[in-house]
Structure 1
Amino acid sequence: MNPPFDATADAPATAAERFPLQFARTRRFSLGVPRQFTVSPDGERVLFLRGTSGTDPVSRLWLYEDGTERLLADPLGPGFADDAPGEAPPEERDRRERARETSSGVVSYATDASARLVAFALQGVLWVLRTEGGAPLRVATAGPVVDPRPSPDGSLIAYVSRGALRTVRTDGTDDRPLAGPDGEHVTYGLSDYVAQESIGRSRGYWWSPRGDALLVARVDTAQVSKRYIADPANPERPPRVVAYPAAGTANARVSLHLMRLSGERTEVRLPGEAGEGHPEDVWTDRAFEYVVAAGWDGNGPLVTVQTRDQRSVHVLEVDEASGAVRTLRRTQDPAWVALRPGTPLRLGSGALVVPARPGGDTQGLEIGGVTTPPGLEVREVIGAADGRVFFTAGEEPTEIHVWSYAADDPDDGFLRVSGAPGVHTAAVGGPTVVLDSRTPDGHTVTVLRAGVPTGSVAVLTEEPLVTPRPLALSLGERDLRSRLYLPSWHRPGDGPLPVLLSPYAGHGMQVVLEVRAWWVAVAQWFAEQGFAVLVTDGRGTPGRGEAWEKSVHGDRLTAVLEDQIDALHAAAARYPDLDLTRVAMRGWSFSGYLAAAAVLRHPEVFHAAVAGAAPADRRLYDTHWEERFLGHPDVLPGNYTRNSLLDEASALTRPLMLVHGLADDNVAVAHTLRLSAALLAAGRPHTVLPLSGAGHLVGQEQTASSLLLLERDFLRKSLDL
């Protein structure tokens, strides 16, 4: 067997040694990637964000029109650069943390209905521009700006400042408050922590199509427990306060209000709790505590609410004059009602696009009474344009394709828009589809008009310095979708390879896909260090039906670990060079939790682990996410005890490295500190690596680069490589 990366190694080995720095410098190969596409209703203009290269951390606003790209807003250019540098408001910094934003500059924007006027904020300053030409204009406001959004006709800009929702004309005149502030714990126009982090609703207000009123969220966090995120490396700085509703504690109080520009205000009369048909269990909570979706279309405001126990979801039509609601759709489930991104969508006819069970175990859609075919697992609704509804779905869990359905012509059936195996999504407007495609060969963005390719948007991300060589596998009796990465220099029979499991394996995310993503490159890099790297999506991950995804209800570890072990043994039976006497697992967030559980529960299988940002004490995680799986901790304490790792600390007999960012407000560093304290109390040696200033996503270049090397060295030493 060739020694990996010694002084006599060839050029590919040298490139692989440079990979950690490239991985960090490119922010996980996210820089230079076009994103946040907006297609104008006539399909003529496409707006998007992107830097100028695969290492440029400053995001800029671009326009694609008539087959060419044009730069609209450069934060480093004239006008912008002349301003004194400032700091984004705290609410904006929180929003970026929730979105795992890795760049600076223009990181979000909004347009009027025709996509001709664009508004965005830079360091709390409001800017507007018109796509037909002209320089961006700075708009004076009463305070630092968060989430600015033009009215449909482009005459006004709404924005949030210091907890109040305000409007201002595009020339900077008539800046006035619509609502708030009502006190230090109340905001208007922003979403709460749980909505952003666990539900996926990042917005807190929506314009009426006429531009004369807004639907506005009022969030009161007075009863929510507070967390204080300090920076131990800079003790002179005050801690950041986060209203964080841990499992079993009070949620933010969210109400919705119809606010007219004339000054009238009407509260939406949201239902208090679910009634007949709500599934009962040991723990039942019928109260509608979650506003999971909202909007305002040509038929009026539309709101979706979910109960605290997540077993009922109601889609509500709102009367804009009185605030009264009428239930259009009720959905119940004995485990939890899954929330499908992009739903509900209401078409111009009033027909709804909502999640449905088309037959068997498939999670599909109902589009105006017509359901998607059984076996077509729907992931997200993209939108409607030119008489068609667009959504992403797959018949094979390792592929996600763009599909469309002609709501006005059901005989046209369901059509697949994307072709090559991979992960595809899109943005739509008029006859134009911007097809965003990630395949094993790379990343492309193709502009289609009436189904015909007419151009492309450049993807400027760097090519990884290692070339991924995954072997696609389906393992064990459950056909576990897996990928095996072997060193490029290894040949069958060269000798045994220690095995590194590098899954995610948690709810809501897949890593075994027909795609060349950052985690694929990282897996190959670890393989080039001398490991056989196995990645498996087991039970609880998306894409394989409802029963598969909900098999972790009440127990987040047993089935998931069982699938990882089954995949390991099945792969070793097929590839004898895999050395089952030297097996490790690494991971971050859920997979960090899984890695720690692996060495605690199955030391006969796993011989070392690196656990990054591991949520070891499930009671510390947020309400909506954790109660979905384990229920209320006061009613079902056994679920939390069985799924937390603190009481198992005395079982540790293998090397374990715990890594955590000290500024992480998603998985608090308290998880790792409590686990470390339990290990210390039990007399179990372990390694703790604190990352100063790092959040849940490690963004600092040198830290991210060095972390990969430190993980490698720990695993090599632990497995005698």
Structure 2
Amino acid sequence: MTSSEITFPLQSARTMRFTLGAPRAFTVSPDGERVAFLRSGSGTDRSTRLWVLDLAGDGAPRERVVADPAVLLGGSAERLSVQERARRERSREGASGIVGYAVDAAAELAAFALSGKVYVAELRAGTARALPVPGPVIDPRPSPDGRHIAYVSKGALRVVSAGGDEDRALAEPEDAQVSYGLAEFIAAEEMQRSRGFWWSPESDRMLVARVDNSPVQRWWISDPAHPERKPAEIAYPAAGTPNAVVRLFVVNLAGEHTEVVWDRARFPYLAQVHWSSGGAPLLLVQARDQQSQLHLAVDPETGTTRTVHVDEDPVWLDLFPGVPAWAPDGRLVRIADEGGARVLAVGDRPLTGAQLQIQAVLDIGESDILLTASAGERAAGPEIGESHVYRVNELGVERVSEGVGVHSAVRAGGVTVLVSTSPDRPGTTAQVLRDGKRITTVTNHAEQPVLSVRAQLTEGGARRIPCAVLLPTGYKESDGPLPVLMDPYGGPHGRRVVATHNTHLTSQWFADQGFAVVVADGRGTPGRSPGWEKAVKHNLALSLDDQVDALHALAERFPLDLERVAIRGWSYGGFLAGMAVLRRPDVFHAAVVGAPVTDQRLYDTHYTERYLGDPAARPEVYAYNSLVTDEGLSHAAEQVRPMLIVHGLADDNVVVAHTLRLSSALLAAGRPHEVLPLSGVTHMTPQEKVAENLLLLQVDFLKRSLAGPA
């Protein structure tokens, strides 16, 4: 099908928002001879394969397939366990096939799960085989020496030799509520910790998380379209309710256990674990209110811990990829909020200042640290929506990435894979650099979009709110003002105003339907400063204030018809859209409210309590920040605006109860609205037809709702 025959909604759905066919999940071997990565065969192929890019020798770099699901499964359909489906939902993984892998220290042996089985692949030889172990299997990982594979099956942590023999359980659950080696819901969904066991550098033992879900309340997710099916039971720790009990053990290959001891009553969250040759095992544990945390070094012989560093913040403490970790000289590497900036600290010394907003540590080398950062709030000439890769050491800061865009990297053995996106071209570019010089580019099979983005990145209002404005393709000033569609996420963790092309594709498509689309990243969104993010403590409605301020400021420079303003959003953006038409109908005239968090008491502990505190101690805060309580609705204006509320019935993150409670509250208040339930759809909406038609239905609703004289 040619680009002239396909519509953007269909293409976007079929390509999973243009992510299929793009290389990802890079690993560089320590000898600099190989780069392993994942990629599907085309821009519409959902089955991901494991590839290797060979860099050794005098010949040109060569890409080759190491493991192909179609070959390994003999053409059979992939089967996923309930646990694997849940793991993929937590990681927002919508593809199939080999969606994750782990390697040994030399990056010569890879292990991955496929259709519930353990597979290993020899990356040099390019061969892959299944191991005869009990399944279904989750998260297989080779030991650093490549001699063993550890994995989880039915809640037990097991180990098998790389040759497939000597399979045995090292830690078995005492009952159905206990698992070993898996991340609990809160860790996977909110803490960026997707794993539950960590090999020692010597390959002789592991740190293993034991999760007991028995204290966690039970919810039931059912699909009314299939009344013959039993509801699915989930352990969901809603705000103010008990979390899972997480303990940590040192487990050797003989199955002997030593418990790691810390003050779990005061610091119940096991946020991060790091074990490398750089030093003792390192833990980051948080208090439930997330205002204090400890960096702990573990004695693996006794399980005792010593405090390396203490962090405290009167608002909250954030978690960051790549830290904590050890520098080669034994100093602690961390990211901290100091002096109004987010800095990289090594030992007691910050190595960066207000010029950068550190986002993640990518690699810790002998002479430098590789990281990603955006321009700080106080930097001269802020780069709106950009993120760059930097090298940092005691001598200073050097930018590695070039050109406007969002960049990240993976590095080892003198080789860096620099992954870049740009506002000027679609997709990602993965350049392979050796000693800073480009030697090749990894092939990208992602489809070219049938439309081109024309996003104008700017700032709006007295607070200099980062914004993107998109007008219809071919718009001329003589066309006059346009109806406005605010298209935000607008809250914590979700940065939407970024200097990339594909991020704004859907917004551009809406613009081409006759709207001026505005995306605004107000207070609470990341990438600017700690103070900007933490301003929303106890008051998420500030997100709405900034949407209004940005809209009015941009109307002075762009053709925005303020008499016809709609807003659409999903998840936090859905909450924001619902609040917009309820509390500011003088500004917003219609809303598409997607998977909204309407009752904050129904969302999880680690996320909600970070921003709103303990619901038992601050019930008025929860009431004000909800859309369904009497207190929350009391702020709603009398004027009624059209609302289309959309929700997947299989959503186990923002459960459909949020939408049902909002609909009931609106009905009780005599407020007309529309509800679109999506049978069998989770928070991701990965189904092709659903994703395609959902865009078309939104446009139809928005045009109907904003119809009338300009």
Per the normalisation by structure 2, the TM-score is 0.95
The answer to whether structure 1 residue 699 and structure 2 residue 686 are counterparts is yes
CA distance in 2, matches of 1:44, 1:342: 24
Corresponding residue for 1:73?
67
Once residues 199 and 284 of structure 2 are traced to their aligned partners in structure 1, the CA distance between those partners, rounded to angstroms, is: 17
Matched AA of 2:668: A
Q: Give the superposition deviation at 1:567.
A: 0.9
Q: Does 1:418 align with 2:405?
A: no
- Equivalent position of 2:441 in the other structure: 456
1:338-349 equivalence runs, <5 A: 338-349=318-329
Whether the aligned pair in 2 keeps the contact of 1:385 and 1:430 (CA below 8 Å) is: no
CA distance in 2: counterparts of 1:263 and 1:691, whole angstroms: 46
CA contact under 8 A between 2:216 and 2:244: conserved in structure 1? yes
The one of 414, 429, 432 equivalent to 1:444 is 429
Q: Which residue of 2 aligns with 1:355?
A: 335
Superposed CA deviations along residues 156-196 of structure 1, whole A, max 9, x for unmatched, are 11000000000011222111100012101000000000000
| Structure 2 match to 1:142 | 134
Identity over aligned residues, as a percent?
Answer: 49
Q: Distance in 2 between matches of 1:200 and 1:139?
A: 29
Is 2:18 the counterpart of 1:25? no
Residue 31 (structure 2) pairs with residue 48 (structure 1): no
CA offsets, 1:490-533, max 9 Å, x none? 21131231000001111012111111124x01111001100010
Q: Does 1:555 align with 2:539?
A: yes
Alpha-carbon distance, 1:250 to partner: 0.1
In 2, Cα distance between equivalents of 1:134 and 1:591:
44
CA offsets, 1:573-619, max 9 Å, x none?
Answer: 112x3111100000000011100100000011100000000000000
Deviations 1:37-91 (A, max 9, x none): 11111222111101011111100000011212111111012x4226x54522222
- 1:476 to 2:470 alignment: no
Secondary structure of the residue aligned to 2:578 is: helix
Match for residue 593 of structure 1? 575
Deviation at 1:131, TM superposition (A): 1.0
User: Displacement, 1:143?
Assistant: 2.6
| Contact 2:261–2:303 (CA under 8 A) maintained in structure 1 | yes
SS in structure 2 opposite 1:142? coil
Which position in structure 2 is the counterpart of 1:276?
none
2:107 matched to which residue of 1?
115
- Between the aligned partners of 1:263 and 1:617, the Cα distance in structure 2 is 45
In structure 2, how many angstroms separate the alpha carbons of the residues matched to 1:446 and 1:49? 15
1:500 to 485, 488, 493: 485
Q: Which residue pairs with 1:6 in the alignment?
A: none
Shift of 1:372: 1.0
| 702-711 or 378-387: bigger deviation | 378-387
Q: Say which of 201, 213, 226 aligns to 2:218.
A: 226
Corresponding residue of 1:529: 513
- Kindly state the Cα deviation for residue 478 of structure 1 after the two structures are TM-superposed: 1.0
**Counterparts of 2:577 and 2:195 in 1: how far apart (Å)?**
34
Greater alpha carbon shift after TM alignment, 668-677 vs 42-51: 42-51
Q: Secondary structure at the match of 1:574?
A: coil
Normalised by the length of structure 1, the TM-score is: 0.93
Please say if 1:300 is aligned against 2:280. yes
Which residue of structure 2 lines up, in the alignment, with residue 194 of structure 1? 186
How do 1:215-294 residues align onto structure 2 when only pairs under 5 Å count?
215-272=207-264, 287-294=266-273
Q: 1:446 touches 1:457 (CA, 8 Å); kept in 2?
A: yes
Q: CA deviation at 1:385?
A: 3.5
Once the two structures are TM-superposed, the CA of residue 375 in structure 1 deviates from its matched residue by 2.1
Q: Does the aligned pair in 2 maintain the 1:386–1:430 contact within 8 Å? A: no
Structure 1 residue 301: deviation in Å? 1.1
Residue 405 of structure 1, CA deviation: 2.1
Aligned AA for 1:546?
P
Q: Secondary structure of 1:702's partner?
A: helix
Of stretches 388-397 and 688-697 in structure 1, the one that deviates more from structure 2 is 388-397
440-449 or 379-388: bigger deviation: 379-388
Q: Is the partner of 2:7 in helix, strand or coil?
A: helix
Contact 1:584–1:606 (Cα < 8 Å) also in 2: yes
Letter aligned with residue 138 of structure 1: A
Residue identity opposite 1:505 in structure 2: G
Residue 351 of structure 2 contacts residue 392 of structure 2 at CA under 8 Å; is this kept in 1? Answer: no
Alpha-carbon contact 1:39-1:428 (below 8 Å) kept: yes
- Equivalent of residue 294 in structure 2, options 291, 295, 314: 314
Q: Which amino acid aligns with 1:580?
A: L
Matched, 1:403 2:390: yes
Aligned counterparts of 2:357 and 2:32: Cα–Cα separation in 1: 28
Residues 166-175 or 321-330, more deviating:
166-175
Q: What letter matches 1:714 in structure 2?
A: F
| Residue 704 (structure 2) pairs with residue 717 (structure 1) | yes
User: Tell me, which stretches of 5 or more residues in structure 2 are unaligned?
Assistant: 56-60, 376-381
**How do 1:509-588 and structure 2 match up within 5 A?**
509-518=494-503, 520-557=504-541, 559-575=542-558, 577-588=559-570
**CA shift at 1:262, angstroms?**
2.4
Matching residue of 1:280: none
Displacement, 1:449? 0.8
SS at match of 1:711: helix
What CA deviation, in whole Å up to 9, does each residue of 1:412-456 have, x standing for no partner?
A: x22111011111011111211100101112320000111111111
Distance 2:264 2:471 in 1: 56
| Paired position in structure 1 for 2:620 | 638
8 A contact 1:385–1:428 mirrored in 2? no
Describe the SS at the equivalent of 2:391.
Answer: strand
- How many positions carry a matched residue from both structures? 686
Letter paired with 2:398 = L
**Structure 2 partner of 1:283:** none
Name the counterpart of 2:603: 621
Structure 2: distance between partners of 1:75 and 1:229: 31
Partner of 2:410: 427
Greater CA drift, 35-44 or 626-635 = 35-44
Residue range with higher mean Cα deviation, 262-271 or 211-220: 262-271
User: In structure 2, how many angstroms separate the alpha carbons of the residues matched to 1:161 and 1:56?
Assistant: 29
Q: What is the alpha-carbon distance in structure 1 between the residues aligned to residue 174 and residue 254 of structure 2?
A: 20
How much is the aligned-residue C-alpha RMSD, in angstroms? Answer: 1.5
Whole-Å Cα distance in 2 between the matches of residues 385 and 47 of structure 1?
20
Aligned partner (choices 9, 25, 47) of residue 58 of structure 1: 47
